[in-house]
Amino acid sequence: MSSINGMASVNAQVEIEASPERVWSMLADPARFSSWVDNHEGFVGEPPTALAPGASFAQRLRVLNMPAEVRWVVGGLEQPRRLVLEGTGPMGIGLEATHLVAPTATGSSVSSTYEFKGAAVVAVAGQLEREVGASLRASLASLKRLAEAA
């Protein structure tokens, strides 16, 4: 985690013994978020059925032990390699979630980075690192179990 001038980022990586296509089918399917996204508490309004560039949706997350609503736009999607979600959360915090899937000799490597921007980030940077970092690591561990069991 780094925090400079109202910006912070958290990243995590996991090796998964499953093809990038199998990992992608779970990572980029909103219907499966509840199976692997640790802090996912549901969607606001109509849940998205698929992700496509420019598509938007609202998600309820648990952040800093509080419910938070994040409005996301799919900013980038290169199946089965890259998913970028750009969002706006509470207190005007801007978010960017980038998930990269790369083939390896034994399956896939998934690297995820969450970036936070805004004045409120300075006040909560340490808490974001601890909670969001732990949640991201738990999420990727769940994605690994799900993909390897499929």
- Tell me the pLDDT band of 129, cut-offs 50, 70 and 90: confident
What pLDDT, on a 0 to 100 scale, did the predictor assign at position 126?
A: 82
Rounded to whole angstroms, the Cα distance separating 128 from 135 reads 10
Q: Is the pLDDT of residue 121 over 90?
A: no
- Tell me the pLDDT band of 90, cut-offs 50, 70 and 90: confident
- The pTM score is 0.93
* Cβ contact 3:121 at 8 Å: yes
Q: φ, ψ for residue 143 (rounded to 5)?
A: -60, -40
Higher pLDDT, 89 or 124: 89
What pLDDT, on a 0 to 100 scale, did the predictor assign at position 5?
A: 60
Domain span including residue 93: 2-149
What pLDDT, on a 0 to 100 scale, did the predictor assign at position 139?
A: 98
Place of tokens 């978010």: 95
Q: Is the pLDDT of residue 3 over 60?
A: no
Residue 59: give its domain's CATH number. 3.30.530.20
Cis amide prior to 80 (ω within 30 degrees): yes
Who contacts 62 (Cβ-Cβ below 8 Å, separation ≥6)?
39, 41, 68, 135
* Cβ contact 1:128 at 8 Å: yes
Return the DSSP state at 48: P
Residue 3 vs residues 13, 56, 68, 93, 139: alpha-carbon distances, Å: 20, 28, 21, 14, 22
- Mean pLDDT for 3-10 is 72
- Tell me the pLDDT band of 1, cut-offs 50, 70 and 90: very low
Q: Is the pLDDT of residue 4 over 60?
A: no
The total of structural domains in the chain comes to: 1
- Mean pLDDT for 42-52 is 94
